[in-house]
Chains A and B, each alone.
Chain A
Amino acid sequence: MNRLLPFIGFMLLVGLFGFGIWWNTRHDPNAIPTPLLNKPAPTFDLPKLYEPTQTVSKADLLGQPYLLNVFASWCIECGVEHPVLTAAAPTLGVKLVGYNYKDAPADAKAWLAAHGSPYALLIADESGQTAIDFGVYGAPESFLIDAKGVIRFKHIGPITPEVLATKVKPAIAAMLKEAP
């Protein structure tokens, strides 16, 4: 038995190591859990991208749920999720609002002209100041906000077809079922 002890200890370490690898394949170590989940979205008042003299506030958007998609022309992964969003937007069940993050308006418009816009509404946060209140730290990020203005779901990183099917759509379905 005494001779087996070091071997058992070694196997425990192997198990721990394996668990670490498995855990990291399941979890993105860069994803920060948002403390804002199921809490009211922060208030904001941001200009529209195409009509900068008009602003859109949180109060303006109350009454119907929307998916707030944080994107920027400088963000490479936004180009990855863009076709997915474009294909999904008509059948999403909620309004898709584009949140242009830390971008020059001219760059954002050129990017949208080149790739097409799946967004029903586009707002611009050029300084990134409001994004701090949302806990945004990069792009893309997406927030599902219900009719009462509560954040129901957040995804960090691009919305791939898999993320859309396994996370975004179920979250939307759960929200719509609860409050049709």
Chain B
Amino acid sequence: MKPGIGNRASPARRLRLAFFIALLTCVGFAHAQAIEPMPFANHAQELRFQHLTHQLRCPMCQNETLADSNAPIARDLRNQIFKLMQQGKSDEEIKQYLVARYSNYILYDPPLRPGTVLLWFGPLAILLAGAGVVLVAIRKRRREGVETTTVGDSADNGEDW
């Protein structure tokens, strides 16, 4: 019996596997760095940067985040955010900095203000109104259902729905 047969991979196979994994890691890394590399101090800072730029909207392109966009302004704003992070600014301070220049447009999550109450709670109100209509309809039908069974229902009474 040769060694390495059975559930253990041969050295050559293991090497190939390691190479493949390394390659995959490179592909993943290249994708994450598709836009441009930035000299982050550590991984935590990079994650914070990614998280923050994914919450911000590119002013040039309505439906892209600052993290995804390749527009020149998005690149400039990413650099600016990076600089502000190096200066020790918090996420909230960086958002305020951008809102002061580009208005709330830059935020994907609009803040809760008198002007945005409808935006925040409108869908819930519509859902509740719909539930109310359904509830009333069911109650009405049930009451009618009780009456019609006592009278004796015919198939063509033309129930209106």
Within 8 A of A (CB), among B99-147: 99-103, 105
Give the residue of B62, B72, B101 whose beta carbon is less than 8 angstroms from that of A36: B101
Give the nearest-CB partner of A133 in chain B: B101
Contacts of A131 in B (CB 8 A): 76
A-B CB contacts (within 8 Å), total count: 43
Give the nearest-CB partner of B77 in chain A: A132
Number of A interface residues in the complex (CB < 8 A) = 21
- CB pair A30 B62 closer than 8 Å: yes
Chain A min CB distance to B32 (Å): 25
- CB pair A35 B100 closer than 8 Å: yes
CA distance A131 to B160 in the complex (A): 63
Against A, the Cβ 8 Å flags (1 = close, 0 = not) of B68-87 are: 00001100110010000000
A34-B59 contact, Cβ under 8 Å, with A129-B76, A132-B76, A138-B73 = no
Within 8 A of B (CB), among A99-147: 102, 127-129, 131-138
Contacts of B101 in A (CB 8 A): 35-36, 132-135
Contacts of A133 in B (CB 8 A): 101
- CB pair A137 B59 closer than 8 Å: yes
B18 interface residue, CB < 8 Å from A?
A: no
B27 interface residue, CB < 8 Å from A?
A: no
- CB pair A29 B62 closer than 8 Å: yes
B15 interface residue, CB < 8 Å from A?
A: no
Contacts of A3 in B (CB 8 A): 160
- CB pair A34 B103 closer than 8 Å: yes
- CB pair B73 A137 closer than 8 Å: yes
Contacts of A102 in B (CB 8 A): 72, 76
Chain B min CB distance to A131 (Å): 8
Within 8 A of A (CB), among B45-102: 59-60, 62, 72-73, 76-77, 80, 99-102
For the complex with contacts A35-B103, A133-B101, 12 further pairs of A-B residues with Cβ separation under 8 Å are: A32-B59, A33-B103, A35-B100, A35-B102, A36-B101, A102-B76, A128-B73, A129-B80, A131-B76, A132-B77, A132-B101, A138-B73
Q: Which residues of A contact B (CB under 8 A)?
A: 2-3, 29-30, 32-36, 102, 127-129, 131-138
